[in-house]
Structure 1
Amino acid sequence: MSLIKVTNLTFAYDDSYDSIFENVSFQIDTDWKLGFTGRNGRGKTTFLNLLLGKYEYSGTITASVGFEYFPFPVQNKENNTLDVVMDICPDCEHWQLMRELSLLKVSEDVLYRPFESMSNGEQTKVLLAALFLKENMFLLIDEPTNHLDLHARKLVSHYLRSKNGYILVSHDRAFLDNCVDHILSINRTNIEIQKGNFSDWWENKQRQDNLELAENEKLRKDIKRLSEAANRTSHWSDEVEKTKNGTRNSGSKVDKGYVGHKAAKMMKRSKSIEQRQLSAAEEKSQLLKNVESSESLKISQLTYHKQQLVELDRISIHYGDKQVCRDVSFTIEQGDRIALSGPNGSGKSSLLKLICGETIAYTGTLRAGSQLKISYVSQDTSHLKGDLSDFARSSGIDESLFKSILRKLDFSRLQFEKDIASFSGGQKKKVLIAKSLCERVHLHVWDEPLNFIDVISRMQLEDLLLEHSPTILFVEHDSEFCNHIATKTVELNV
């Protein structure tokens, strides 16, 4: 056991107005299984890069271990998988590699296939096996679940639970619950560490938020009272000053010198009281700190003139000689929230694209209602760039509503001034979801919408879908989200 000590860490990007971290201090035990959570853009990946020494910062980070980052970049994906692993971990023994692959239920034959021939999920598991062959290293695991289906997520979470000595960035609640023993959270105003899994942390956070909300309400009342008192004090001295030009009740002339002297003394005293009151109000307002803003979102979906929107009857999709799904049949009706489930490679994304009108080779019958309007959220965010206002205009959506939704999803006003290309992966996904929520449509089709999106925003989206009950077909591997949202599940097999 050893400690990673972070002391007075301060960091901001060169082209940024705001600091990511400011005078942050905490300690990490290198034996922990540490879950790392926080809203998008708060600096989770940045902190991992600081540990790796990629940026200059003020403060100190001291550790007696080295750091390894996942996912590893693979330059030559055409090479055999064994060669890729040996490039990452040249000193590992073959039996050690086989032990890790066995725990991850990966067969030995993948080692003798080109790395690029494996599915994204298989690649993730092989790279994780290589990561845990590194000795005397503290492992930085950045969102490993994004390409894992539900079954693979359970498998990998069990694998990680058998290990220790890592930071795991993930927004999947069930995944974190199964494999971490501490939570490191980046909050609005600080960073804190708590013992336990994600559910323990969330329960504590809700309890703390409720205490803060009660305290905040008391503070707001105190601030209002102090501000009103300061205004009354200021008004009092002004009234005394005015009497210099008035008369006494008896009708005799006022001694302006006497009243002026008295008013000056009262003014000095009242200003001192007013300043103390304002200082007290300011001090109390600084205590309104860590409750996360998670205002409710709104959606206004169009109502279709028929109950049934889409019907698939024995649909099979082919890419050349490869069949990705076979004899898929289901209907989408008004109010359905359908989770399309199945292992990687079972054709989920292809079916979504087919329903949205993309040209895909298929057999069977697809019936979609005439004049049916669909909003599609893709997995891919690589095309996003430019100004948010220009993006709203080119997408034909209301800019004010679009930015209002992004604000509720924890975008700062400073974020609106940046190029979308500079956004984090989660922030880019939020741009696509906000766009979709602004579109007046009959059906929403979302392909893994939660990739990279923080937990609190996931909960907001759950509340939205439960409150407004839009018709939606979605692919998502977050089991908590699916369990809360889906009215139906369509299971695909390879």
Structure 2
Amino acid sequence: MAAPLVVGEAIHLEYPTRVVLDSVTVGVQEGDRIGIVGRNGDGKSSLLGVLSALIEPQAGRVTRRGGVRVGVLSQSDDLDPAVSVGAAIVGDRPEHEWAGDARTREVIGGLVADLPWEARVAELSGGQRRRVALAALLVGQWDVLALDEPTNHLDVEGIAWLAAHLRGRWPKGSGGLLVVTHDRWFLDEVCTTTWEVHDGTVEPFEGGYAAYVLQRVERDRIRAATEARRQNLMRKELAWLRRGAPARTSKPRFRIEAANRLIADVPPVRNPIELQRLAVARLGKQVVDLERVSLRYGEHEVLRDVTWRLAPGERTGILGANGSGKSTLLGLIAGTVQPTSGRIRRGSTVRLGLLDQQFSQLADIGGDRVREVLARTQTTFTVEGKDLTPAQLLERLGFDRPHLSSRVAELSGGQKRRLQLLLLLLSEPNLIALDEPANDVDADMLAAMEDLLDSWPGTLVVVSHDRYMLERVTDQQYAIVNGSLRHLPGGVDEYLRLRRDPPAPPSARPTGQSGPPGQGAAAGPAGLSGAERRAVSKEIASIERRLDRLTAEVASLHEQMADHDQGDYEGLHALADRLRAVEQEASDLEERWLELSELVA
């Protein structure tokens, strides 16, 4: 069994208005990679603070194994504004010492390579300070890392680097990671366990974000089914019910097959043909056309010779490094930024809705109460065939009714983002441009936003570092690379490859060679010969057949356990042991299948 690194026992934490953690017991063991999720305000950062000894609970205790070193990244840094970037990261270590350390070089290259080494911390932007603070933490030696929103201010490339770094930071089965983040792609890439903080409790789930969502759906389904059975028994055999049936305590591990059964009757996320038909009806055939558009500020060329046609109903994501010109491109579409050269044509029927990062749409209504703002619009919004009032729509976006009496200026960042999106949708645009819509928003709220955008019939342009959201709500992606706009048929993965290995100019390629150097025609992927590829394919087919049989056996064992006499503990124990053995074999085979699939991909 893995050794505990940090343990919190019977933790109780409350603030003047609410109890955040109520008798919570949790632990971090060697090899744990834990993502912490939950709604804003439910206690994610508080739990992280208690376990990392930054917050003292009113009751309970936190213990660490002797000698365990815990590194913490909070949402605010304690960097000395007077020191240089270099000193903030490596301290007073001599250059030959830190430059000779592979991890230090990797962290500096991954997070702060673009920052002047001698620049003062006081001269940096908030995002740059955040990256320096993260780099200063990661160059250290830690047994446990507790990270609060580490992806804030990182672009897609930086987030991918951080995920890879954390996956390889410790040997398998050692070290511990606790991370609070709203970045769902990051959770899936890094975490093997998810803790959901809600209603003063911490509920563990196996796997990253996708596994957590599917398990939560299963949990809610079981609860609903249990309640339906309880109500039925109450009507039929009230006396029997009062004696109480033994509760089932076994909880089957997440399986893809079970997830598929859960979502078998769920319709596709979007109907692209119907949405495009509605978009054309609302917009006509022309939305926005950019023709050989360039833009420069002084000597700095931001965009160069961009030609791009936005068509009705297109859902497009824009990628690019920080400062590459993504927000500028949105400004050109919106007409708030004028090009240095080139031409921009907009359809006569275009009505643009722009959600920016500065909450500019709320600037003039800061003193108004939310209900007063909603009362000024009688527009309804159709979701899945149902007309919702503004108040119903805001509630669907996770807005609590008590906050309807709050003044707009008093709302949290996440609440402002919800109100901003609501007002944008109610203005009935047929072209929406979203600039970092995931900022200040928790995972549940992001899911609600994505759900609304799924049924919105118009043209959508999204700039976001949130890879999960970008891939969820858009159907194609473009990237701004060195001032040019480039289509990405391979999506975010293609963008990351471009950033990692920029394409060589045509003149640099050997004549007659279209593929990578050294890849002969006889060799297949990963350099496999034809015979080796056949052998690998044969083993993959064998594994798939075995997995099918194991899946059927798992389903059968679940049915046997459900129908088994709950008082027969020995029989249940034998079934549970067999279930664990079958699931472990399936898990081992799945890992082997993934290894082989990569060879022939």
Shorter-chain TM-score tier: 0.7 to 0.9
Does the 8 Å CA contact 1:120/1:148 hold for their aligned counterparts? no
Q: 1:131 to 1:305 in 2, by over 3 A?
A: closer
- 2:151 alignment partner, SS class: helix
Q: 1:390 to 1:53 in 2, by over 3 A?
A: farther
CA distance in 2, matches of 1:77, 1:397: 49
Alpha-carbon displacement from aligned partner over 1:311-333 (angstroms, at most 9, x marks no partner): 11222222333222222221222
Alpha-carbon displacement from aligned partner over 1:197-247 (angstroms, at most 9, x marks no partner): 333333322322322232233345567x49xx9xxxxxxxxxxxxxxxxxx
1:328-477 equivalent positions in 2, closer than 5 A: 328-360=306-338, 362-370=340-348, 372-381=350-359, 387-392=369-374, 401-418=389-406, 423-477=411-465
Match among 195, 204, 220 for residue 209 of structure 1: 220
CA distance in 1, matches of 2:202, 2:370: 30
Per the alignment, residue 47 of structure 2 pairs with: 47
Does the 8 Å CA contact 1:119/1:344 hold for their aligned counterparts? no
Per the alignment, residue 197 of structure 2 pairs with: 186
CA distance in 2, matches of 1:181, 1:165: 11
Q: 1:459 to 1:157 in 2, by over 3 A?
A: same
1:449 to partner: Cα distance: 0.8
Q: 1:421 to 1:11 in 2, by over 3 A?
A: farther
- The residue type equivalent to 2:420 in the other structure is L
1:272-287 equivalent positions in 2, closer than 5 A: none
Per the alignment, residue 571 of structure 2 pairs with: none
1:146-157 equivalent positions in 2, closer than 5 A: 146-157=152-163
CA distance in 1, matches of 2:281, 2:81: 47
1:160-239 equivalent positions in 2, closer than 5 A: 160-163=166-169, 164-187=175-198, 190-221=201-232, 225=235
Does the 8 Å CA contact 2:435/2:464 hold for their aligned counterparts? yes
Does the 8 Å CA contact 1:180/1:197 hold for their aligned counterparts? yes
- 1:112 alignment partner, SS class: coil
Per the alignment, residue 102 of structure 1 pairs with: 106
Q: 1:318 to 1:77 in 2, by over 3 A?
A: farther
- 1:157 alignment partner, SS class: helix
- Structure 2, unaligned runs of 5 or more: 170-174, 248-268, 382-387, 483-601
- The residue type equivalent to 2:443 in the other structure is V
Q: 1:72 to 1:20 in 2, by over 3 A?
A: closer
TM-score by length of 2: 0.61
Alpha-carbon displacement from aligned partner over 1:68-87 (angstroms, at most 9, x marks no partner): 22455266668531133256
Give the aligned length: 429
- The residue type equivalent to 1:41 in the other structure is G
1:54 to partner: Cα distance: 5.9
Q: 1:421 to 1:77 in 2, by over 3 A?
A: farther
CA distance in 1, matches of 2:125, 2:412: 25
- 2:350 alignment partner, SS class: coil
Alpha-carbon displacement from aligned partner over 1:228-284 (angstroms, at most 9, x marks no partner): x9xxxxxxxxxxxxxxxxxxxxxxxxxxxxxxxxxxxxxxxxxxx9xx99x999xx9
Q: Does 1:129 align with 2:135?
A: yes
- 2:437 alignment partner, SS class: coil
- The residue type equivalent to 1:454 in the other structure is D
- Structure 1, unaligned runs of 5 or more: 230-272, 285-295
TM-score by length of 1: 0.73
Alpha-carbon displacement from aligned partner over 1:102-144 (angstroms, at most 9, x marks no partner): 2553549742345577787765544322112344564321222
Does the 8 Å CA contact 1:429/1:449 hold for their aligned counterparts? yes
Q: CA RMSD in A?
A: 4.1
Alpha-carbon displacement from aligned partner over 1:13-42 (angstroms, at most 9, x marks no partner): 32x3x4333333322336522111123332
- 2:481 alignment partner, SS class: coil
Per the alignment, residue 27 of structure 1 pairs with: 27
- The residue type equivalent to 1:380 in the other structure is Q
Per the alignment, residue 5 of structure 1 pairs with: 7
Higher relative contact order (CA 8 A, sep 6+): 1
Does the 8 Å CA contact 2:19/2:200 hold for their aligned counterparts? no
Match among 77, 84, 88 for residue 80 of structure 1: 84
Does the 8 Å CA contact 2:294/2:306 hold for their aligned counterparts? yes
- 2:103 alignment partner, SS class: helix
CA distance in 1, matches of 2:410, 2:101: 37
CA distance in 2, matches of 1:188, 1:218: 25
Per the alignment, residue 267 of structure 1 pairs with: none
Does the 8 Å CA contact 1:97/1:129 hold for their aligned counterparts? no
Does the 8 Å CA contact 1:101/1:126 hold for their aligned counterparts? no
Q: 1:63 to 1:96 in 2, by over 3 A?
A: farther
- 1:335 alignment partner, SS class: coil
Does the 8 Å CA contact 1:4/1:30 hold for their aligned counterparts? no
Does the 8 Å CA contact 2:12/2:24 hold for their aligned counterparts? yes
CA distance in 1, matches of 2:335, 2:302: 18
Q: 1:367 to 1:165 in 2, by over 3 A?
A: same
- The residue type equivalent to 1:493 in the other structure is V
